Structure 1
Amino acid sequence: MRRLLGLVLGGTLALTGHATAADPSFWKNEWPATDFSQTSLDSWAEVISGGPGKDGIPALSDPSFLPVAEGRGIDAREPVITVDLDGEAPRAYPIRYLTWHEIVNDRIGDVPVAVTFCPLCNSALTFDRRVAGQELTFGVSGKLRNSDMIMYDRETQSWWQQAIGTGIVGEMTGKTLTSLPSWMESYDDFTARSPDGLVMAEPAWNRAYGRNPYRGYDSSHRPFLYSGEMPPHGIAPLVRVVRVGDRAWPLARLAEAKELREDGVVLSWRAGQASALDSDFIRDGRDVGSVRVRDADGKDLPHDVMFAFAFHAFWPDGIWMLD
Structure 2
Amino acid sequence: MTRLLAALALVLTATAALAQPEAGRREWPNTDFSRSAVDFAEIVSGGPPKDGIPVIEAPRFRLARDETRLDPRESMMSYAPGSAPARAYPIRYLMWHEIVNDVVAAVPNAVTYSPLCNSGMAFDARIDGVRHTFGVEGKLRFSDMVMYDRPTESWWQQAIGEGIVGRYTGRTLTALPARMESWQAFREAHPDGFVMDEPDWRRAYGRNPSIGYDSSRRPFLYSGEDPLHGIPPPARVALPCSARSGGSRRRA
In the superposition, the TM-score normalised over structure 2's length comes to: 0.91
For 1:29 and 1:82, how far apart are their aligned partners in 2?
38
Equivalent AA in structure 1 for residue 130 of structure 2 = Q
Cα distance in 2 for residues equivalent to 1:45 and 1:111? 36
Residue 215 of structure 1: how far off its partner (Å): 4.6
Q: Deviations over 1:44-71 (max 9, x none)?
A: 1111100000000011111011111222
| SS in structure 2 at match of 1:179 | coil
Matched residue type, 1:79: S
Is there any run of 5+ residues in structure 2 with no aligned partner, and where?
A: none
Runs of 4+ in 1 over 4 A off after TM superposition: 2-6, 12-15
- Match status 1:232 vs 2:228: yes
Which residue is equivalent to 1:314?
A: none
Q: Which residue in the other structure is 2:248 paired with?
A: 304
SS in structure 1 of the partner of residue 26 of structure 2: coil
1:170 to partner: Cα distance: 0.2
SS in 1 for 2:123: strand
Q: 1:70 maps to what in 2?
A: 66
- Inter-CA distance 112–4: structure 2 relative to 1 (3 Å threshold): farther
Alignment of 1:251-270 (within 5 A): 251=238, 266=242
Q: Kindly state the Cα deviation for residue 139 of structure 1 after the two structures are TM-superposed.
A: 0.3
> Which of 181, 185, 191 is the aligned partner of 1:189?
185
1:139 equivalent in alignment to 2:83: no
Quote the Cα distance in structure 1 between the aligned partners of 2:28 and 2:204.
29
1:221-278, Cα deviation, whole Å (9 max, x unpaired): 211111122223433222233xxxxxxxxx3xx6xxxxx6xxxx725xxxxxxxxxxx
**Partner SS for 2:151:** coil
Match of 1:33 in 2: 30
Paired residues of 1:4 and 1:214 also in contact (CA < 8 A): no
For the pair 1:160 / 2:104, whether they are aligned, the reply is no
Aligned partners of 2:48 and 2:135: how far apart in 1?
A: 13
Distance in 1 (alpha carbons) for counterparts of 2:56 and 2:187:
23
- Which residue of the partner structure matches residue 298 of structure 1? none
1:173 aligns with 2:169: yes
Structure 1 residue runs without a partner (length 5+): 7-11, 242-250, 255-259, 268-292, 294-300, 309-323
CA deviation after TM superposition for structure 1 residue 93, in Å: 0.3
Q: Quick check: 1:217 aligned with 2:191?
A: no
- Tell me the alpha carbon deviations over residues 280-305 of structure 1, each in whole angstroms, 9 at most, x when there is no partner: xxxxxxxxxxxxx3xxxxxxx42431
Counterparts of 1:235 and 1:69, CA distance in 2: 38
Counterpart position of 1:128? 124
* Contact 1:4 1:213 (C-alpha < 8 Å) held by counterparts: no
CA deviation profile, 1:62-118 (whole Å, cap 9, x unmatched): 101111122242222211111100121010101111010000010001211111111
Secondary structure of 2:225's counterpart equals coil
Given that 2:79 and 2:86 are in contact with CA atoms closer than 8 Å, whether structure 1 keeps it comes out as yes
